[in-house]
């Protein structure tokens, strides 16, 4: 879902997901005449091995900050870290996510995009309904940086 609602401090990850969506959109059109369909699974928070790795990587990033970086970003980065670690720990388990993706891929016709997890469905709906300003506020609240 971060391809559609990128989060602060998560630009490269969100950009890579957006790039994959662009490839899928283009290939869907190019390969449709050959009977090839694409289902873009757009997961929300996932409870995989990722949260522990993410927490460790975020801790290393915080520890590696210079005094000036800490002054500029320390509190903001700490709030982001706590929020992201909390979201990932409460995410959808991998087996449930996989079952959701398989079910979507077996539908006829298969959906082009399918949210995986309740949080993904909610966020993707908001992306279509809210203004950029509202989404900016939402993304900041999601990562513990907004009121």
Domain count, the chain: 1
User: How many residues can be counted in the chain?
Assistant: 147
pLDDT band at 8 (very low <50, low <70, confident <90, very high): confident
**Residue 5 domain flag:** no
What confidence score (pLDDT) does residue 49 get?
65
Specify if 26 maps to a domain. Answer: yes
- Is residue 4 in some structural domain? no
Has residue 131 been placed in a domain? Answer: yes
Query: Is pLDDT of 77 > 80?
Result: yes
Condensed to tens digits (0 to 9), the pLDDT of residues 133-145 reads: 999 999 998 888 8
3 found inside a domain: no
Which pLDDT value is given to residue 55? 81
pLDDT, tens digit (0-9, with 9 covering 90-100), for 84-138: 878 777 778 889 999 999 999 999 988 999 999 888 999 999 999 999 999 999 9
Burial of 121 (0-12, 13-18, 19+ CB in 10 A): middle
pTM of the predicted protein model: 0.77
> In this predicted structure, what is the pLDDT of residue 50?
64
Res 44: pLDDT = 86
| pLDDT over threshold 90, residue 81 | no
pLDDT at 93: 85
Over range 4-24, report the average pLDDT: 91
Angle at 12 between CA 38 and CA 44, to 5 degrees: 50
Residue 30 domain boundaries: 11-142
In a domain, 116, yes or no: yes
- pLDDT digits 0-9 by tens, 17-66: 999 999 999 999 999 999 888 889 998 888 766 667 778 888 899 999 99
């Amino acid at each position: 879902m971060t391809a559609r609602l990128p989060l602060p401090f998560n630009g490269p990850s969100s950009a890579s997901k957006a790039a994959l969506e662009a490839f899928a959109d283009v290939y869907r059109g190019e390969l449709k005449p050959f009977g090839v369909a694409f289902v873009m699974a757009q997961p929300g928070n996932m409870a995989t091995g990722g949260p522990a790795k993410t927490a460790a990587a975020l801790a290393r990033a915080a520890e590696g900050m210079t005094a000036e970086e800490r002054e500029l970003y320390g509190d903001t980065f700490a709030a982001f870290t706590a929020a992201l670690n909390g979201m990932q720990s409460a995410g959808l388990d991998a087996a449930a996510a996989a079952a959701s993706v398989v079910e979507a891929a077996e539908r006829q016709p298969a959906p082009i995009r399918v949210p995986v997890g309740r949080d993904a469905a909610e966020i993707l709906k908001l992306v279509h309904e809210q203004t950029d300003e509202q989404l900016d506020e939402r993304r900041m609240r999601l990562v513990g940086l907004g009121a």
